[in-house]
Structure 1
Amino acid sequence: MTMHQIMYKAVSRRASDIHIKVHNPPIFRVDGALIRMDEEPPLVDEDIRGLLRQVVDDRDVAKFEKLLELDTSYMLEGVARFRINACMDDGHPRVVLRLIPLKIPSLDELGLPPTLKNMCRLKNGLILLTGPTGSGKSTTLAAMIDEINATRPDHIITIEDPLEFMHTDRMGIVTHREVGHDTLSFANALRGALRQDPDIILIGEMRDAETVKTALSSAETGHLVLSTLHTVDAVETLNRLMEFFEPHQQTQIRKQLASVLRCICSQRILPMAKDQGRIVACEVLVGTRTIRDFIDQGKSFKDILGIIEESRDQWGMQSFDQALHILWTKGVITAEVALQNATSAKDLRLRMQGMNIK
């Protein structure tokens, strides 16, 4: 079996990921569960190396042999794009591919809060999409960039490792830069981006203090910056941003963050009721004056959750528990799933019972 055949089969089964692992047939992740292709024989080392060579060039093969790690991407023309990670697993090669559809879903199709579409109209500031691996951050970012690209005559620069969704020029124009192929690092690309007449800058991930600092400065100087963090909610996101810096730097970073923060959207993917697939639940923080003052004044971030829950009607914010309650009320998810994923299962249970919990 060739890698292309595996890819086609993954697309037909609506898999999100492909696992290539020694002593196993190819394995697909479908609706969150791993499913083995038991009709195929188990793979050995040379099979896996051969499959990898079919989708990466000689330069990437050499890089993998030297560093024992590889992040890249591959386009299966007219079908899908794949994000590829190769590594070693107890001395054996191991490959994981994430399927990235060519058609970018809209924010409405993804069932995301209307607040995110409003954020696409902003001219400057910082928007962060957060959540664990596989929570749909990249898909949401792509939908937001697509919305901006379709409605604004602006220049969008994306900096990713590896490149994921591809955008064609529409009302706006898009410059794609892949770390390792088009640039050596996020920091280099971000510094260079400021000399390329950008309006919007997408940074695949906030990885270090230099990237965070440059992103904040870019947002301060009139650009709209979008990025991601592997944090579970708004409070952890704010704390993580501070942790990138030494204590003596944090007061200045707080002031910068307070001036540019526009939105934090934290996502989790949940199984839908009756095995109908999966749905995203979002916590949304909007950078209102109250939130900005809260950050600037050095108050404890944990108290922000109360502001989020009280600002739903006026500003379109919502906590995870409020989002879960909405999905449960609509019958999209079961009570069990809602309670398992709640920030406070006790409060959510009271809300489900009709108690007046904001």
Structure 2
Amino acid sequence: MPSLTPELTDLLAAVHRLDGSDLHLRSGATPKIRVSGSLQEAAEVAWSAEQVTRALREAMSATVLRDFEETWEADFAVTAEGLGRFRVNAFRSRGQDGAVFRRISDGAVPLEQLGMPDVVRRLALRPRGLVLVTGPTGSGKSTTLSAMVDVVNAARPVHILTLEDPIEVVHRDRVATVTQRELGSDTRDWPAALRAAMRQDPDVILIGELRDADTVRAALSAAETGHVVLSSMHTTDARETVLRLIDFFPAHEQPRVRAALAVTLEGVVCQRLVPRLDGDGRVCVVEVAVRDARFAEAVADPDKTHGITDVVASGAYSGMQSFDQHLLTLVTEGTISLDTAMLAASNPHDFTVALRRTGWAPEQPVGRRVLESAP
């Protein structure tokens, strides 16, 4: 049976105590914890290769260990009593074992607590179609998806089927029935699990990540046949998300894919984490695209896809918002600094012009110079 060594348990306790997000463990290096986006040392001395190997291999099940020894890659989850669950990616670095432990919330965090606009809740409750949550690694995509699943779980008497690698947040049946399947322990083959999903009478399907053409094809097929499909991608905004989905396929298939996306892609929630002005952690900046006539047309027509950014920025009536529009709100509310917003803005010049029009007066000297330089 998998277990945690006392040394590893102490480090995971430190992650919990510091409200950190990740523990970095590597042979010959000092363990580090990511807190509010920055890495800090979690021990005074480096861990030896023997310590890392022992800690990882005791934490692995026999199946995970066998796969790790064959491929030198492994994704699994561990539970530390009193500390919660951690998602683990184990790997090899310069011939030695290493891993990153990502802390997982104990149960789904409500969307409101995440600072998500209400349109994200409405997207979760759509009766059919594809809804994507995108962003870079560590931006909270899994947290948002679990919150969306929780919204459905609390509101609709449906069957929710999740396919995850690994399971992160454990969902208990509420109004809905939730079946969670994990790669490696509940299914050995991702394509087979996707094919079998349609025979398990799901209403809502969560696919952990759209990572290749086969996965996208399965997601589109499910969405076209009346299911809700929730998933994630590593893309930066709505426009890139659409282009990436299409680029998964060869040129001769792309017109059909565009047509399918135009009628099934209900929404794209793109997110980034930026530091708060008060230093108390980070806040999520969100771009939201929602399917309406203009968005569907931009997805279907390759000559108009480049205009998705403008569609999002002008689509407030449908619940849409761009990154820069959300950044503007966060700056004027005093949640983040102007300099932070400038670093995160998609178009810094246009952002400063829009901010100047609000009449907001900056307090940071650097920010004042940036703002005054705008026409």
Equivalence for 1:251: 255
The reply on whether 1:131 has 2:135 as its aligned counterpart is: yes
Question: Is the 8 Å Cα contact of residues 163 and 182 (structure 2) preserved in structure 1?
Answer: yes
Equivalence for 2:67: 63
Work out the CA distance in 2 between the residues paired with 1:159 and 1:299: 35
TM-score by length of 1: 0.96
The reply on whether 1:349 has 2:347 as its aligned counterpart is: no
Equivalence for 1:28: 33
Question: Is the 8 Å Cα contact of residues 126 and 216 (structure 1) preserved in structure 2?
Answer: yes
User: Counterparts in 2 of 1:208-247, with a 5 A limit?
Assistant: 208-247=212-251
Equivalence for 2:274: 270
Identify the match of residue 318 of structure 1 among 312, 318, 321. 321
CA deviation after TM superposition for structure 1 residue 78, in Å: 4.5
The reply on whether 1:14 has 2:15 as its aligned counterpart is: no
The reply on whether 1:106 has 2:104 as its aligned counterpart is: no
- Please, which runs of 5 or more residues in structure 2 have no aligned partner? 1-5, 360-375
TM-score by length of 2: 0.92
The reply on whether 1:5 has 2:17 as its aligned counterpart is: no
SS in 2 for 1:158: strand
User: Counterparts in 2 of 1:51-90, with a 5 A limit?
Assistant: 51-90=55-94
SS in 2 for 1:353: helix
Work out the CA distance in 2 between the residues paired with 1:79 and 1:307: 44
CA deviation after TM superposition for structure 1 residue 124, in Å: 0.3
> Per-residue displacement from partner, 1:286-321 (whole Å, max 9, x unpaired)?
011221122223333221111111111x11101111
Question: Is the 8 Å Cα contact of residues 20 and 36 (structure 2) preserved in structure 1?
Answer: yes
Question: Is the 8 Å Cα contact of residues 63 and 184 (structure 2) preserved in structure 1?
Answer: no
The reply on whether 1:189 has 2:193 as its aligned counterpart is: yes
User: Structure 1 segments of 4 or more deviating over 4 A?
Assistant: none
- Please, which runs of 5 or more residues in structure 1 have no aligned partner? none
CA deviation after TM superposition for structure 1 residue 274, in Å: 2.2
Identify the match of residue 42 of structure 1 among 26, 41, 46. 46
Aligned length: 355
- Residue identity opposite 2:182 in structure 1: E
SS in 2 for 1:285: strand
> Per-residue displacement from partner, 1:264-302 (whole Å, max 9, x unpaired)?
011000000021210000110001122112222333322
User: Counterparts in 2 of 1:170-185, with a 5 A limit?
Assistant: 170-185=174-189
Question: Is the 8 Å Cα contact of residues 3 and 54 (structure 1) preserved in structure 2?
Answer: no
- Residue identity opposite 2:131 in structure 1: I
CA deviation after TM superposition for structure 1 residue 17, in Å: 0.2
Equivalence for 1:333: 336
- Residue identity opposite 1:232 in structure 2: T
| Aligned-pair Cα RMSD in Å | 1.5
